């Protein structure tokens, strides 16, 4: 029942952090760009996972559009506001990075036994793009290691005792 705005804000802040980290890399040969991962676990139902997927893709697609739209303007303003709050000395570089790289994303839903196939999980556990997002249920919160996991958006209430990530 959470508003999609919370997920959108978490995704935008993830993108800002990725941009900041990549803009802060030393200018030495071979430093390259780092790819990071965001984990989203809002529900145990596959239907909710599909809704989260659509919401995440909607944000990336809106930012990647070449023409001005209502959503692009709204996201632009949020990115500027969040970046100013988080990294006031690097706002322009962050915004430029996000708009240059917004199409370099992977969003993958992993939520069932058949998704345990290594190649499907590796697409998000070993990110190959700067903005990699994993969405799912119990599989992704039990015994899976995410390299360069930068952000977790975990709103689901656990049925048993609370466990934390390490």
134 neighbors 146 (Cβ within 8 angstroms): yes
Beta strands in 16-130 (DSSP E): 36-41, 105-110
Sheet containing 131-136, strands listed edge to edge, beginning at the edge strand earlier in sequence: 105-110, 131-136, 36-41, 149-154
- At residue 166, the pLDDT reads 45
Q: Smallest Cα–Cα separation from 125: which of 96, 145, 153? A: 145
- Per-residue pLDDT tens over the stretch 147-157: 888 888 877 55
Nearest partner of 150 among 13, 5, 55, judged by Cα: 13
pLDDT tens profile 97-149: 999 999 999 998 886 555 555 556 777 888 999 999 988 866 665 667 888 88
* Angle, alpha carbons 94-98-99 (nearest 5°): 120
Main-chain dihedrals φ then ψ at residue 153, nearest 5 degrees? -115, 100
pLDDT digits (tens, 9 = 90+) for 1-53: 468 899 999 999 999 999 999 998 776 555 678 999 999 888 777 788 888 99
Hunting for tokens 């919160």 — which residue is that?
141
Angular region, 87: left φ>0, alpha ψ -120 to 50, beta rest:
beta
């Amino acid at each position: 029942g959470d508003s999609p705005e919370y997920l959108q804000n978490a995704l935008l802040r993830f993108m800002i952090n990725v941009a900041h980290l990549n803009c802060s890399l030393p200018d030495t040969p071979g430093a390259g760009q780092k790819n990071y991962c965001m984990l989203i676990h809002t529900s145990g139902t596959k239907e909710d996972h599909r809704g989260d997927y659509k919401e995440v893709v909607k944000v990336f697609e809106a930012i990647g559009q070449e023409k001005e739209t209502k959503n692009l303007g709204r996201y632009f303003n949020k990115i500027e506001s969040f970046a100013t709050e988080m990294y006031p000395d690097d706002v322009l570089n962050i915004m430029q990075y996000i708009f240059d790289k917004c199409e370099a994303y992977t969003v993958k839903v992993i939520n069932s036994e058949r998704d345990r196939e290594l190649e499907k999980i590796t697409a998000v556990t070993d990110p190959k793009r700067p903005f990699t997002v994993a969405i799912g249920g119990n599989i992704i919160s039990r015994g899976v290691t995410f390299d360069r996991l930068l952000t977790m958006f975990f709103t689901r209430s656990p049925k048993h005792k609370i466990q934390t990530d390490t």
